[in-house]
Structure 1
Amino acid sequence: MRNATGCSRAGKRKGRVSVRQKPLETLWEVPNELWERIEPLLLEAFPPAWTGRSRADWRKCFNGIIYQLRTGCQWNHLPRRFGSDRTVHRWFTKWVHAGVFLRIWSALVEECDELGEVHWRWQAVDGCLGKARMGGDLVGENPTDRAKRGTKKSLMVEEDGGPLSVVVAPANCHDSRLLKATLESIVVQRPAATRARPQHLGLDKAYDTPTAQQVVATMGYVSHTARINRGEWLPNDPAELKRWLRRRAARETKKKGGRRNPLAGGS
C-alpha cells in the first residue's frame, strides 16, 4: 500500500524509499540533431504566414505522428503532451499530400550516402502483406487471409537494413510484378555497378521467374535468388509422355519390392 507521495509504507519501515517508475516520455521525441534536418524541409513545404493565427508546434505534431505510427493507436488516443489530436492528424494529412515525408526520407538517405553509411554492395527486396480494414485505392483480396482486404508493400533495403524504396500495391499482386517498380523507386541516385564494385541483390523464391530475372539483369545486379523446386520434367509430346509414365511406374514398382502400382496404366 502506498501513501500520497507514492512511497511504500513497508519500504519506509525498512529504511528504503521505493519510487514509482514513470514511463520514458522522451521515447517518441525527435532528437535535436535530427529535428535540425527535418524542420527546414517542413518550412520549405509550408512557409510561415505573415498574418492569421499562430502555427501549431510542429515538433510536437511530428512526435505525435511517430507515436501513432509506432503504437498503432487511434488518433484520438494520443497522449496530451503531443497537443490536440485533431491538429496532429491535420498536419499529418497535409504533409502526406505534399510529399514531405518522402523528402525527409530522401534527404536523410542522401546524407548517409555522403558519409559512406549506405552499403550498396548487398541489397534485398521482399514483400509483406498488411490489412486494410478502412479500404483505400490500393486494396485487394489477401490470398493468405481468406481473401480479406489488404495491401502489399514491396520494400528494398541495403546491406545493414536501411530502407531504400517501397511500393504499395493490392494484396493480390504478385511480388515479382512489383520488382521493377521497387528498383526504380530508390529515393536517392543509386551508384552505377561496376566490375570492381558489383551490386548483389538477394531475392526469395517468389522472384524465380524469367521476367523478374530479366529485370535484375537489366538493372545491373548480380542475382542471388532462391530457386523453386519445380519437380520432375514432363515431356510435351503425348507419346513421349506415355513412355515416361511407364518408366516412372517401373521405377516405383521396383522400389516397392515388385508390387505393381495400380495407377500406372498399361504395359
Structure 2
Amino acid sequence: MDKSILDDELWALIAPLLPPPKPRRAKYPGRLPLDDRAVLAGILFVLQSGIPWEMLPKELGCGSGMSCWRRLRAWQEAGVWDRLHALLLAQLRLADRIDWSRCIVDSASIRAVGAGPKTGPNPTDRARPGSKHHLITEAQGIPLAVILTGANRNDVTQLLPLVAAIPPIRGLPGRPLSKPRIIQADRGYDHDKYRRPLHAQGIRTLIARRNTLHGSGLGKTRWVVERTISWLHNFRRLRVRFERLAIIHEAFIKIACCIICWRQLKRP
C-alpha cells in the first residue's frame, strides 16, 4: 500500500475511532475481513482521484470497490468522521490555529449525475440535477461544518443550521468554543428573518445588504471561505456528485474537511 495516501500519524488518530469488526462465528467464520487501513486508503484514492469504485487499483490491497463503499457507509453511520473532525479541531485550538474572531459562510453548487436525496434542479445550470455544499469556516478558512442540500435550496435557509452544526471545539481548559462572535456572508444571506435569531444569541452579523452598491469591504476577510471551497473541490470526487445516496457524498465531504484540518495542523 502506498503510505503517501494515508500517513502514519493521521492513521494513528483514525484507528481508535473505527468501530470494532463484527465477531466471527467459530464453526463457519468465513473470509477474513479486509484490513481497515487498506480499505481507508482505497476510499481516499477514490476521493482524491474521482475514479469509479470498480476501477480501484488492486495494488492498494483494499479488495473490491463495493467493499470500500460498504465500509465507508458503515463508518459514516457510526459517526467516525464527525469524531475525527472534532478531534482535529481540538488539536488546532491547542496549537493556537483557531481564529475565533469571526466565522464565514458560503456555498457552491455542483452537478449531480442522476437523481437521489438532497438533489434538485440547479438554477445556475439550466435546471439540471445538482447539489449544493454549504460551508462555515473560522477566520482563517478552517472548515467547521458542512451541509449538503439540493442545488435549488436558497443559501440563507442554511445559515442557522450551519451555525448550529459547529461542534464544540475543545483542546484547552475551560468552556469549549461553540458560539461565533461574528458571522460574515455575502448578499445571498441578507434576510432579517435569519439575522434576528443570531442576534438573540449574541452573535453579530456582517452581511452585505441587497440592492446596495458593491464595496462593503467584506471581501477582504470573506475570501477565505471561497478558498476553502476551492480546497474541497480539489478532491475530484466532490466536483461532480456521482453518489445516489446522500450519506456517501456527505461522508466524502466530511473526510475532505478532516484532511484540510490535518494539513493546516501540519503546516509549519
Q: Shift of residue 78 of structure 1?
A: 1.5
Question: C-alpha separation between the residues in 2 aligned to 1:132 and 1:149?
Answer: 5
SS at match of 1:130: strand
What are the superposed Cα offsets for residues 27-74 of structure 1, whole Å, 9 maximum, x if unpaired?
4x22211111100000xx234635434221111111111111122110
Question: C-alpha separation between the residues in 1 aligned to 2:159 and 2:53?
Answer: 33
SS at match of 1:67: helix
Change (3 A) 1:192 1:105: closer
Which of 81, 86, 104 is the aligned partner of 2:66?
86
For 1:191, the equivalent position in structure 2 comes to 177
**Is 1:145 equivalent to 2:125 in the alignment?**
yes
SS at match of 1:172: coil
**Is 1:107 equivalent to 2:64 in the alignment?**
no
Question: C-alpha separation between the residues in 2 aligned to 1:50 and 1:112?
Answer: 39
TM-score by length of 2: 0.68
Question: C-alpha separation between the residues in 1 aligned to 2:22 and 2:91?
Answer: 26
Moved more, 111-120 or 88-97: 111-120
For 1:247, the equivalent position in structure 2 comes to none
Contact 2:168 2:178 survives alignment (8 Å): no
Q: How many residues align?
A: 200
Q: How does 1:54-73 map to 2 (within 5 A)?
A: 54-73=32-51
What are the superposed Cα offsets for residues 142-200 of structure 1, whole Å, 9 maximum, x if unpaired?
1111111111121111122111011111111111111000100012356266xxxx822
What are the superposed Cα offsets for residues 112-139 of structure 1, whole Å, 9 maximum, x if unpaired?
2233322211211111112221322111
Which of 118, 135, 143 is the aligned partner of 2:115?
135
SS at match of 1:160: coil
**Is 1:163 equivalent to 2:143 in the alignment?**
yes
Question: C-alpha separation between the residues in 1 aligned to 2:85 and 2:178?
Answer: 21
Question: C-alpha separation between the residues in 1 aligned to 2:22 and 2:97?
Answer: 34
Question: C-alpha separation between the residues in 1 aligned to 2:124 and 2:109?
Answer: 9
For 2:20, the equivalent position in structure 1 comes to 46
Which of 206, 230, 236 is the aligned partner of 2:188?
206
Alignment gaps of 5+ in structure 1: 1-24, 232-267
Task: Tell me which of the two structures has the higher relative contact order, counting C-alpha pairs closer than 8 angstroms and 6 or more residues apart.
Answer: 2
For 2:78, the equivalent position in structure 1 comes to 98
For 1:223, the equivalent position in structure 2 comes to 205
Contact 2:136 2:163 survives alignment (8 Å): yes
Alignment gaps of 5+ in structure 2: 170-175, 214-268
Contact 2:167 2:178 survives alignment (8 Å): no
TM-score by length of 1: 0.68
Q: Shift of residue 210 of structure 1?
A: 0.9
Question: C-alpha separation between the residues in 1 aligned to 2:178 and 2:45?
Answer: 37
